[in-house]
Amino acid sequence: MRPPEPVSSRVSRRAFLALMAAVVATPAIGETQSVVIGEGITIGWAPFVVADGLELWKRHGLDARVVTFPSGRLVIESILGGSSTFGTATETPVTLAALNGLPIRILAVIDTHEVYDLVATTDIGAIEDIRGKRIAFSSGTNAQIYLARLLDRAGLKPSEVEAINLNPAEMVSGLTAGSIDGFVWSEPHQSQAIAAKPGAFHRLRVPGLYTQYSTVVTTQQTIETRRPELIAALKALIAADDYIKGSPEAAAALTAAKIRMDPGLAREIWPQINFAVSLDRQKLIDEMRRQGQWAIDSGVARAGTKLPDFDAVVVDGLLAEARQSLNQ
């Protein structure tokens, strides 16, 4: 006959089983929520890159899976399709989406940047000289907005310029091969073109012509059903912004490595970008209204389209809640 089990063993086993039951039943402290983030791959999305690199999503309770897209329009499509929870887009594709009645929302602006210049052959000395020239741009992007404003500033009509739709990589090869006389796009393509044929091309800068807003976007439905996750994401981005301000060189290096940009070029551009997780609603809404009206007037939007209520598109409550939560 087996000797009876000691009382201490029985108590230990019971305690162990109770502890296991408690662990299983109780939600873990700082339980992470899964999100999918649709991210662009340009220098303007640095706060997202920093948040990825420093695992800031995890620190704020998010189990983030990052999917990269070459354009904000594709990020918006993935969000609308339900593949991404939130992501990055500039104000232009958001404006075009809103014009078409799509329920996309802006939660915050992470930076503003005068991102575009005209890179052209050196015989184009001033913006007025682009009359009759072949100028490339990327249709449906804010580069198209920039070109429209450039023509306006130069006192030219759209018909006075041969505007050619090209992808950015083709702009550089097209300019080098002589197929186009200039293009409107951002870095690093500007530097690539200038370096490709030293002395043949130059930048024509028009300060104040157009400022890009890099925004955090999601859908109305996600705001209603996953508000805590979005607030956590904004807290992570605020932390990333703090890091960028505190360690700009390290942040630039981290971003350059992720987006495969020359680190020297990234350091050069960095001071031109106004990093700040913020939301100047009125300024942003005014810009979106202006772009929306341009889309209607130029025929980009469907005939008969009315400007949507951009006050509903730009949602400020979550950013305020995120800041409040961080200050507590």
Footprint of other proteins (CB under 8 A): 73, 80-81, 93, 96-97, 99-102, 134, 136, 139-141, 164-167, 169-170, 173-174, 176-180, 295, 300-303
Residue 49 has phi, psi (to 5 degrees) of -60, -45
Q: In the chain, where does DSSP find H-type helix?
A: 7-25, 46-53, 56-59, 72-80, 91-99, 142-154, 168-177, 189-196, 220-225, 227-246, 248-259, 263-269, 281-298, 310-313, 317-327
CB nearer other proteins, residue 62 or residue 76: 76
CB of 105 to other proteins, least distance (A): 15
Q: Are 55 and 199 in contact (CB under 8 A)?
A: no
CB nearer other proteins, residue 54 or residue 307: 307
H/E stretch holding 26 reads none
CB of 228 to other proteins, least distance (A): 25
Q: Are 258 and 147 in contact (CB under 8 A)?
A: no
CB of 221 to other proteins, least distance (A): 11
CB nearer other proteins, residue 2 or residue 157: 157
d(CA 203, CA 122): 9
CB nearer other proteins, residue 144 or residue 278: 144
CB of 181 to other proteins, least distance (A): 11
CB nearer other proteins, residue 63 or residue 297: 297
d(CA 7, CA 244): 60
CB of 177 to other proteins, least distance (A): 5
CB of 301 to other proteins, least distance (A): 7
CB nearer other proteins, residue 221 or residue 247: 221
Q: In 3D, which of 242, 318, 325 has the Cα closest to residue 279?
A: 318
CB nearer other proteins, residue 217 or residue 234: 217
Environment class of 282 (CB within 10 Å of its CB; exposed 0-12, middle 13-18, buried 19+): exposed
CB of 187 to other proteins, least distance (A): 19
**136 contacts: CB under 8 Å, gap ≥ 6:** 163, 164, 165, 166, 170, 171, 174, 175, 180, 182, 183, 184, 185
